[in-house]
Chains A and B, each alone.
Chain A
Amino acid sequence: MTDDKQAPASGSILVVGGGISGLTTALEAAEVGYEVFLVEKNPYLGGRVAQLKQYFPKLCPPTCGLEINFRRIKDNPRIKVLTMADVEKVSGGPGNYKVEIKVNPRYVNENCTLCGECAKACKMEVSNDFNFGMDRIKGAYLPHEMAFPARYVISPQIIGAEDAQRAKDACKYDAVDLDMTAKTLNLDVGAVVWATGWQPYDANRIDNLGYGRYPNIITNMMMERLSAPNGPTKGLIQRPSDDKAPESVAFVQCAGSRDENHLPYCSYICCMASLKQATYVREQFPDAKIYIYYIDIRTPGQRYEKFYQDIKADENIFLIKGKVAEVAEDPDTKNITVVAENAVTGEKTRQTVDMVVLATGMQPTAATTKLPADLTFNADGFIVNDFEKGGMFAAGCANKPADVMSSNQNATGMALKAIQTLVRR
């Protein structure tokens, strides 16, 4: 960057959320000369994208897009990253916000070399949230291989237990600091971009689809972790009940989306996600049969439509127009039978498969966690952008359900909106 040509920075920008939208907003603003605070609640950046096996449009593994962004952050002194941090309070107005941020203790400082001795020393295991609880990890852990900041974390669950001391004793670099406490930071910023993202809709709430009752019914995000090389099975797709390689998989579209009893809106990504996951299964098990039950297949744009056409041409993939409304498990084989009416033929179909993937939708984080700022939300919890008022903006899936590509476009736009707020001050 040519520093002499950049816009005069006045004030700084707070970006809440370190997923793909937050990263983009932060980088776009910082690379044109603005000071940015990037706040992330997890111990790592990358958000939902980091959990995928591949992502659209080019079916890259997440390393591909995230790595370059992490590199840009590392090289840019204007971005200050705060992980394990929560925004507690935002007051003031456009151009002049006062922000209170709570930074939770990581118990590991910058001396960490990723040697992993602390994890080896730990005896207790905790549920691995990164893999949706499908495996367990040590109380001292690295969230995933590509975690940025590349530093271990000590789970608060082992603090006070012997394991914490074991981890500390095992560290040759004096990186484990059990005396760390939560700190509160006060920042003055000119604009705030909320890139608080989404969470998978809680499939336990969809009574008729059997998630939580039958082990071989999983969600689409679990499928991503199952297929990802850094997942609980090192990328081998196997069904949870007996680790068997699935010979048949059913995908249930609109599981909780476009449903007045759950999420009334279309979550936008699930059709493409299931079509993509069909390719994961097909690549690993060339003889596996795939059944995709849908209301409408939504593949926006020419590229996605092309992808759909290719999937449709696959003779082992069957697309059935009709929503699955009933599931049953065979108690002996743990196979799942899905029931739907094929609306094209007008026949009720019962298909028994090894494994079922529920294409659960996106729920904005703000639907379940109240954001501590004067924002406008719609009935579903998405932040409504008020460009008249300005100052605070929502980017990516905090604003509407979107794929990575549109999130990035949107995030770039919101970086500009934030900059405009500062310049007009």
Chain B
Amino acid sequence: MTDKYLVEPDIGFLNEVVGLGGDTLKKCYQCATCSVACPISPDNKPFPRKEMIAAGWGLKDRLVSNADVWLCHNCGDCTTMCPRDAKPGDVMAAIRAYAITEYAQPKSIARAVNDPKKLPILLAIPALIFIVVGLITGLLDFTPGGGEIVHGKFFSTWLVDLVMIPASIWMVAIFALGLKRFIGDIHQNALATGKTDKEKIEPAEFIKALVRVIPRILKHSKFSECGENEERATSHMMVLFGFIGLFIVTGIFFVVLYIFGIHGPYSQLNPVKWLANIAGVSLVIGSALMIKNRLAKTDQVSTYKDWSLIGLALALGLTGMLTEMTRLGGAAGLSYTIYFIHLIFVFALFAYLPFSKLAHLVYRTVAMAYAEYSGRKF
């Protein structure tokens, strides 16, 4: 053997992956059972065996820029079959969590989002912004009065959008910057490891691949191929469709408000309102099911990155539904308070999304589109 390869392990990376739930990675003895056990792993350069050894050696660059870690849906088939009781599925999840913080800048926010001690500060920021901006502009009225409960009188829709629109722009901008590096990196990685024969990324072809992949994502077809926890696909679908439904509702009412000038609250008979209610309930039930599944599954590691995301989804759903219910029930003070809390979580969703586990929505979609584009054989 004349090929020389000097391994330069990144111990800090290794320790972080261990801390993010990848603590079993050193048990791996490279038998490659996992790569065969995985129902969604491709035939050329399958995962997660190669990721396990790279993680064990602390080869950060080979993992963070590796699209394959995103193709894994953490079903746990590999973990069940592992002869060493290592948990490749959890190691992959830990690498993904690390990769998110690598691509989301500024890093200090990424670190705060993944640190439970910083949670009160992160939630206090939107509260403070709301109060300060609200009081300066006069768009926040603590004594809305009136017989009917109208949230817009307490917390003006102008104020909502004054904060949320910049927050969404911030989110999109951070994702755009992250994705730019991400796509370049995963392509380089694929070239270096022989996963693709495409030399350059053709934008038009890539978009076509993305279009082909999206129905698969919506149907959770890859997700459902994993044998170990099929039920997870159901709860995940409920949460995803809950979010999509609420996104559509928000979009429609945004148009209704600013273009047609019709203010809420809208009638319960309105079909858009039906969609809102169904999506909200779906979000609450889906995230509650996720909590139940995670608590029941003792062979899978659940860390702060998992709990904080499910918690946020549940909190968004619950506060949203409760705001509506207390409004219909006529409990003005309670309804306004819950609405305020709800908006804090909405802000958290937008502003912290690129730094949290929820960023998988973007990275996984792109990675799956790239796999489709680059012609990985599944």
Q: Residues of A with Cβ closer than 8 Å to B?
A: 208, 254, 258-262, 295-296, 321-326, 339-343, 346-348
* Cβ-neighbour of A346 out of B33, B36, B45, B82 (below 8 A): B45
Instruction: Give A346 Cβ to nearest chain B Cβ, in Å.
Output: 5
- Is B374 located at the chain interface by the 8 A CB criterion? no
* Cβ-neighbour of A323 out of B31, B44, B46 (below 8 A): B31
* Cβ-neighbour of A343 out of B30, B41, B193 (below 8 A): B30
> CA–CA, A347 to B45, complex, Å?
5
Interfacial residues of chain B within 48-77, with CB under 8 A of chain A in the complex: 49-50
* CB pair B45 A295 closer than 8 Å: no
* CB pair B81 A208 closer than 8 Å: yes
> CA–CA, A348 to B34, complex, Å?
11
Instruction: Give A187 Cβ to nearest chain B Cβ, in Å.
Output: 43
The interface residues of chain B lying within 8 Å CB-to-CB of A326 are 36-37
Interfacial residues of chain B within 1-37, with CB under 8 A of chain A in the complex: 29-37
* Cβ-neighbour of A322 out of B31, B42, B81 (below 8 A): B31
Chosen A-B contacts, 19 in total, with CB atoms closer than 8 Å, are: A259-B83, A260-B83, A261-B81, A295-B30, A321-B32, A322-B31, A323-B31, A323-B32, A323-B33, A323-B83, A325-B32, A341-B32, A341-B49, A342-B32, A343-B32, A346-B45, A346-B46, A348-B35, A348-B42
* CB pair B29 A340 closer than 8 Å: no
Q: Which secondary structure characterizes the binding site on chain B?
A: loop
Instruction: Give A234 Cβ to nearest chain B Cβ, in Å.
Output: 37
Instruction: Give B44 Cβ to nearest chain A Cβ, in Å.
Output: 6
Instruction: Give A239 Cβ to nearest chain B Cβ, in Å.
Output: 24
Q: A260-B85, A295-B29, A326-B36 are in contact. List 12 more A-B contacts (CB 8 A).
A: A295-B30, A322-B32, A323-B36, A325-B33, A325-B37, A341-B49, A343-B30, A346-B50, A347-B44, A347-B45, A347-B46, A348-B42
> CA–CA, A323 to B36, complex, Å?
9
The interface residues of chain A lying within 8 Å CB-to-CB of B115 are none
The interface residues of chain A lying within 8 Å CB-to-CB of B30 are 295, 343
- Is B43 located at the chain interface by the 8 A CB criterion? yes
* CB pair A254 B84 closer than 8 Å: no
* CB pair B36 A341 closer than 8 Å: yes
Instruction: Give B85 Cβ to nearest chain A Cβ, in Å.
Output: 4
> CA–CA, A295 to B82, complex, Å?
13
Instruction: Give A382 Cβ to nearest chain B Cβ, in Å.
Output: 19
The interface residues of chain B lying within 8 Å CB-to-CB of A261 are 81, 83
> CA–CA, A362 to B359, complex, Å?
48
If the complex has contacts A341-B49, A346-B45, are A258 and B83 also in contact, measured as CB distance less than 8 A? Answer: yes
> CA–CA, A355 to B224, complex, Å?
33
10 residue pairs, one from A and one from B, having the closest CB atoms: A325-B36, A259-B83, A341-B35, A341-B32, A323-B31, A325-B33, A295-B31, A322-B32, A348-B43, A260-B85
- Nearest A residue to B78 via CB reads A325
- Nearest A residue to B37 via CB reads A325
- Nearest B residue to A256 via CB reads B83
> CA–CA, A377 to B45, complex, Å?
43
- Nearest A residue to B193 via CB reads A346
- Nearest B residue to A208 via CB reads B81
The interface residues of chain A lying within 8 Å CB-to-CB of B31 are 254, 258, 295, 322-323
If the complex has contacts A259-B83, A260-B85, are A348 and B46 also in contact, measured as CB distance less than 8 A? Answer: yes
The interface residues of chain B lying within 8 Å CB-to-CB of A340 are 32, 36
The interface residues of chain B lying within 8 Å CB-to-CB of A341 are 32, 35-36, 46, 49
The interface residues of chain A lying within 8 Å CB-to-CB of B82 are 260
Instruction: Give B124 Cβ to nearest chain A Cβ, in Å.
Output: 46
- Nearest A residue to B29 via CB reads A295
- Nearest B residue to A349 via CB reads B43
The interface residues of chain A lying within 8 Å CB-to-CB of B32 are 321-323, 325, 340-343
> CA–CA, A323 to B82, complex, Å?
11
Interfacial residues of chain B within 177-205, with CB under 8 A of chain A in the complex: 193
> CA–CA, A308 to B14, complex, Å?
36
The interface residues of chain A lying within 8 Å CB-to-CB of B81 are 208, 261, 325
**B29, B33, B41, B44 — which one has the most chain A CB atoms within 10 A of its CB?**
B33
If the complex has contacts A208-B81, A325-B81, are A347 and B43 also in contact, measured as CB distance less than 8 A? Answer: yes
The interface residues of chain A lying within 8 Å CB-to-CB of B42 are 348
- Nearest A residue to B83 via CB reads A259
The interface residues of chain B lying within 8 Å CB-to-CB of A342 are 32
> CA–CA, A343 to B45, complex, Å?
9
If the complex has contacts A341-B35, A343-B49, are A348 and B29 also in contact, measured as CB distance less than 8 A? Answer: no
Instruction: Give B64 Cβ to nearest chain A Cβ, in Å.
Output: 19
Instruction: Give B32 Cβ to nearest chain A Cβ, in Å.
Output: 4
**A326, A339, A341, A343 — which one has the most chain B CB atoms within 10 A of its CB?**
A341
The interface residues of chain B lying within 8 Å CB-to-CB of A296 are 29
Instruction: Give A200 Cβ to nearest chain B Cβ, in Å.
Output: 18
- Nearest A residue to B377 via CB reads A348
- Nearest B residue to A350 via CB reads B43
The interface residues of chain B lying within 8 Å CB-to-CB of A208 are 37, 81
The interface residues of chain A lying within 8 Å CB-to-CB of B43 are 347-348
- Nearest B residue to A339 via CB reads B36
> CA–CA, A295 to B31, complex, Å?
5
- Nearest A residue to B82 via CB reads A260
> CA–CA, A321 to B30, complex, Å?
9
* CB pair A348 B41 closer than 8 Å: yes
The interface residues of chain A lying within 8 Å CB-to-CB of B45 are 346-347
Interfacial residues of chain B within 331-371, with CB under 8 A of chain A in the complex: none
* CB pair A260 B84 closer than 8 Å: yes
The interface residues of chain B lying within 8 Å CB-to-CB of A262 are 83
If the complex has contacts A295-B29, A323-B31, A343-B30, are A348 and B83 also in contact, measured as CB distance less than 8 A? Answer: no
Instruction: Give A51 Cβ to nearest chain B Cβ, in Å.
Output: 27
> CA–CA, A246 to B42, complex, Å?
31
The interface residues of chain A lying within 8 Å CB-to-CB of B46 are 341, 346-348
Instruction: Give B339 Cβ to nearest chain A Cβ, in Å.
Output: 52
> CA–CA, A261 to B85, complex, Å?
8
- Nearest A residue to B27 via CB reads A260
Instruction: Give A245 Cβ to nearest chain B Cβ, in Å.
Output: 29
Instruction: Give B350 Cβ to nearest chain A Cβ, in Å.
Output: 40
> CA–CA, A237 to B46, complex, Å?
35
> CA–CA, A347 to B43, complex, Å?
6
The interface residues of chain B lying within 8 Å CB-to-CB of A347 are 43-46
> CA–CA, A259 to B37, complex, Å?
15
The interface residues of chain A lying within 8 Å CB-to-CB of B85 are 260
> CA–CA, A343 to B29, complex, Å?
11
- Nearest A residue to B195 via CB reads A346
> CA–CA, A254 to B81, complex, Å?
14
The interface residues of chain A lying within 8 Å CB-to-CB of B34 are 325
> CA–CA, A262 to B84, complex, Å?
10
- Nearest B residue to A253 via CB reads B31
**A258, A325, A326, A339 — which one has the most chain B CB atoms within 10 A of its CB?**
A325
Instruction: Give A358 Cβ to nearest chain B Cβ, in Å.
Output: 14
Instruction: Give A113 Cβ to nearest chain B Cβ, in Å.
Output: 52
